[in-house]
């Protein structure tokens, strides 16, 4: 898994809305990447719902959120609509898990992304990463702390 201080790997993935979204689209903003195993699974559903509720807090830190799994854009579209999500879900579908592998969070045995979080700063460098234990919703505390640390760092530079 990629660690703090590493330049975030480039990506371009389809969203459930049919848009292609790349790392470059977030230049000048803090980016939260939430990798997760699968749409519709109980833990993933809870995790994405929590993050959806946290969007206003993330925006206070000039941060945007994307979810990433190996599900297709069609699956993401249905899942996002059913859960009323207000952030893009990106399909790491084909080649399967290519971006998850670049970030070091692909589970070869299961054929899914691990549940992992990355906060990427405005310059495209990983400021914080976390690999959640299997079946555990990581919550948002670590994300908020990482964003707070970025804000504090930028206020003293």
Catalytic residue ranges: 44
Q: Hey, is 82 helix, strand or coil?
A: helix
Size of the chain in residues: 157
Phi then psi for residue 115, to 5 deg, are: -85, 105
Tell me the two tokens of residue 34: 């939430």
Q: Residues 71, 39: contact at Cβ < 8 Å?
A: yes
Helices (H), the chain: 42-59, 73-83, 98-102, 141-156
Q: Residues 128, 119: contact at Cβ < 8 Å?
A: yes
Cis peptide before 57 (omega within 30 of 0): no
């Amino acid at each position: 898994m990629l660690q703090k201080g590493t330049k975030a790997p480039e990506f371009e993935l389809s969203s459930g809305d049919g848009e292609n979204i790349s790392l470059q689209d977030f230049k000048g903003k803090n980016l939260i990447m939430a990798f997760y195993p699968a749409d519709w699974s109980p833990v993933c559903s809870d995790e994405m719902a929590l993050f959806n509720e946290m969007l206003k807090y993330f925006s206070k830190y000039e941060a945007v959120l994307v979810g990433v799994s190996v599900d297709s854009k069609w699956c993401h579209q249905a899942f996002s609509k059913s859960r009323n999500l207000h952030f893009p879900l990106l399909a790491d579908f084909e080649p399967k898990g290519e971006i998850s592998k670049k970030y070091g969070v692909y589970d070869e045995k299961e054929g899914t992304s691990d549940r992992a979080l990355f906060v990427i700063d405005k310059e495209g460098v990983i400021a914080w990463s976390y690999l959640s234990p299997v079946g555990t919703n990581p919550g948002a505390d670590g994300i908020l702390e990482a964003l707070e640390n970025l804000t504090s760092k930028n206020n003293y530079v």
